[in-house]
Structure 1
Amino acid sequence: MSQFLGRRDCVESLRRDLVDLQGATVDVFSRTGPVRFSSWKFPDKLSCNLDMVALLEQYDFTAGDEAFSQHSHIVLLELVIDR
């Protein structure tokens, strides 16, 4: 499984999944109001207050920087869990 860590297609797929999950979350919040629980990834923040746009800008595939791409892959997986 480690051969997939940090690959462009995997990172892009996770980013699309997060955009879809965030859209579903915003849709639910529009009907119920925000759910005020601590974020799993960032326990010092409420999950409803995470700036997903900024996080997606920060964590992305970076050609030529395998270590950062692998780090981004892991962070994006953790954000999927957080959502």
Structure 2
Amino acid sequence: MAYLLGNPNCMESLRKDITDLQGAIIDVFSRAGAVRYPSWKFPNKVSCDLDLVALLEHYDYVENDPECTQHSHVMLLELVIDR
């Protein structure tokens, strides 16, 4: 599975998953209110206060930079867990 690390299709799928999860979270928050709990990935921030748009822009596929792309892929996986 390590050969998939940094694969642009996998990363795009993760980005869509994060967006879908965030949409579901916002739907629940609109009905039950926000849950103020520390983020798993960023423990110094409250999870509902994370700027996911900025995070998704920052952690993206970078052509000709496999190390940065692999790091971004891992960060996207961790954002799925954080959601």
The bucket for the TM-score relative to the shorter chain is: over 0.9
Q: CA deviation at 1:43?
A: 0.2
Could you say which structure has the greater relative contact order, defined with CA pairs below 8 angstroms and 6 or more residues apart?
1
Give the count of matched residue pairs.
Answer: 83
Mark the runs of 5 or more structure 2 residues left unpaired by the alignment: none
State how far apart, in whole Å, the 1-side matches of 2:41 and 2:69 are: 18
Q: Which residue of 2 aligns with 1:51?
A: 51
4+ residue segments displaced more than 2 Å: none
**Among the aligned pairs, what percent are the same residue?**
63
- What's the TM-score, normalizing by structure 1? 0.98
| 1:33 correspondence with 2:17 | no
Give the Cα separation in 2 of the matches to 1:13 and 1:61: 12
Q: Distance in 1 between matches of 2:69 and 2:42?
A: 20
Q: TM-score, normalised to structure 2's length?
A: 0.98
